[in-house]
Amino acid sequence: MEPRDVRAAGAVVTRKGGEVLLVHRPKYDDWSFPKGKLDPGEHVVTAAVREVAEETGLDVRLGPALSSQRYRMSNGRFKTVGYWTGRVVGSDDVSRYRPNDEIDSVQWVPWDAAMRRLTYSYDRDTLAEAKPLRRKTRALVVLRHGKARARDSWRRDDRIRPLLRLGEAQAQRLVPLLAAFDVTSVHTSSSTRCVQTVTPYVDTTGWPVKKYDELSEEDATAEGVVEVVDALLDSGESTVLCTHRPVLPTVLDALRVPDVRLDPGGMLVAHHRKGRVVATEVRQP
């Protein structure tokens, strides 16, 4: 049986002026994007942000996803690398970067020069894919609440039906994922299982949370959902909207994106610019 692919993640990080962030690895004498292997149990989204920080010293937030790369390594195993576009949060100065045995140079390179400098053809393909997506976007994360107690075993008001321990663990795992997409505003159904799903992120970051009866199973209407979604698209922030499986089709229809199935704790990330969704991606727990 062929071994599983080695999994890695990284980002094509850009800044105003048409420059892209490249790193040089002395061991291979190659120029590429910052990337690296996933830690055991780590989500690919979390790994992308962590690896950029470790290899360049820069803190980034992710934009639209790019096609994954898959290639055979020198030892014969295949590697799959997930990529996103990315932008720096805070200072983008790399002049004080300290070279080491893994990465001995980090540079901002003009786009055309980066295309010539990249060592591998698959990196040049990734850079070409990133070019039309390099303009800054915001994220609206549509989140299905974590795994909750079974409805048929709950005898009280369904609005207060809580998460299972699995759902609580899923909620904790969401914290770095939502941070990776720069979520700074939290919006949720007023039902307990939804509130519990976003509580770890709110407690960790201190970002405000707003609860809506209009996003609950009992009170959701098409008009109410459209009003909430339109307000989030116009807010100028990256946001998360947590709701229930029966309400999700209405939310996605308001975003004008195709319906998708989300597992408990799963999310669809809608990257938007000037009120229009330009890219989506689905991330299951």
Shared-domain flag, residues 47 and 81: yes
11-43 pLDDT, tens per residue? 999 999 899 999 999 999 999 999 999 999 999
Same domain for 128 and 144, yes or no, is no
Verify that 144 and 274 share a domain, yes or no.
yes
- Does residue 164 sit in the same domain as residue 238? yes
Q: Is residue 1 part of a domain?
A: no
In a domain, 194, yes or no: yes
Domain membership of residue 30 (yes or no) is: yes
Question: Which tens digits make up the pLDDT trace of 121-166?
Answer: 999 999 999 999 989 999 999 999 999 999 998 999 999 999 999 9
pLDDT at residue number 197: 98
Q: What is the domain count for the chain?
A: 2
Quick: pLDDT tens for 96-117.
999 999 999 999 999 999 999 9
Q: Copy the structure tokens of residue 71.
A: 């290639």
Which pLDDT belongs to residue 99?
A: 93
146 falls within a domain: yes
> What CATH code is carried by the domain that includes residue 91?
3.90.79.10
Gap between the Cα atoms of 14 and 8, Å rounded:
20
Going by pLDDT thresholds of 50, 70 and 90, the confidence category of residue 285 is confident
**Are both 175 and 129 inside the same structural domain?**
no
* CA 225 – CA 248 distance, rounded (Å): 10
| Domain CATH code at residue 170 | 3.40.50.1240
Domain enclosing residue 46, as ranges: 6-133
